[in-house]
Amino acid sequence: MKSKFQHVALVGKYQITTSSTSGANSRAALLAVAHFLDDQGCDVSLEKDTALNMGLTDYPALSVAQIGHECDLGLVVGGDGTMLGIGRQMAPYGVPLIGINQGRLGFITDVPYDSFATSLAQMLGGAYVEDHRSLINARVLRDGHCVYEATAMNDVVVNRGAASGMVELRVEVDGHFVANQRADGLIIATPTGSTAYALSSGGPLIHPSIPGWVMVPIAPHTLSNRPIVLANSTKIAIEIVSGRDASASFDTQSLASLMHGDRIEVTRSRHHVRFLHPQGWSYFDTLREKLHWNEGVTAT
C-alpha cells in the first residue's frame, strides 16, 4: 500500500543522550521506526536536536521550521512530555503528529511501540482518526508591560513558593471579577491537560471536542472554591495579590518568577495541534486503559 505521507519527520526524546540506558533504547527505537518508514517508501528526516543528541547521521536533520514547511507528517517516539514539546512548536505549521509511546501514561502518544509496525502501516495508508487539540496563549504583565510569553497545550499553573504559605490571587474572566482566592495555586487547563495536574487537584475530565477550559484551585483555603469549566473564548486574568516566591509554569516546561501586582493573562491560541490516531481510536478507550477503570470488574 502506497503511503499517503511522502516526507516523514522523526522526533525523539531530544533532551537525553545515548550515554544513558534510556537514551540507548530511544536511539534503537528511532532507528527501527526509520527503517520501517524506509520500507514503506517514505522520505525520512530527523528533528535536528534528536539527530544531534542521539548521534544519528544516516538521515537528513531538519529544524522545526523546516519540518513545518517540508514534511507531511511528524512521528514522535517517546512519551507525552516529548509530544507536548514538539506539539506546541509544530502547531503553527499544521503538520499532523502521530505518537509512538515509549513513556508511561501515553494519553497523547497512543501507539504502543511494541506494535507500531501494524498500526503505522494502516495509518500511512490513510486509515486513521484525526483529532484537534486547542492551545493556550499566556503572558505575564508587569506594570502594564509583557515580561514573559508562552504557549501551552496542557495547562498554565500559578504556584506558591516552595517554602512559603498560600498565595492570594485575584481572578477575572472577560474583565469581570470572579473572586480573590487563597490557595496553593491555580490551574487553567485545556481538555488535553484535564488528565494531568488538574485531574490530581480534583478537576473534571473534559472531552477534547469541547471548546472549554477548566479552572482548578490547588488546595484552596475556602473549600467552596471549586473547579469551574469555562468557554475557551474567554480571557482569564490572574493577579498576584500576596504570597512569596510565586511562579507561573506553562506545561511545566517554562517558568516565570512573579511579583505582587503581576498579571497572568490567558487566551485561546489561534493554532491547534493535529493528532492522528489508529482507526477505531476512542478517547474513552484511552481513559479506561490509562486510568485503570473497570479493573476487577467483569465486562458484560
Listed residue (49, 246, 59, 281) closest to 157, CA to CA: 246
Listed residue (50, 51, 33) closest to 99, CA to CA: 33
Q: Which of 80, 131, 251, 262 is catalytic?
A: 80
Listed residue (219, 159, 216, 172) closest to 190, CA to CA: 216
Burial class, 287, CB count within 10 angstroms (exposed 0-12 / middle 13-18 / buried 19+):
middle
Is 38 labeled as catalytic in the residue annotation? no
Task: Tell me the C-alpha distance between 266 and 189, whole Å.
Answer: 10
Residues with a known catalytic role: 80
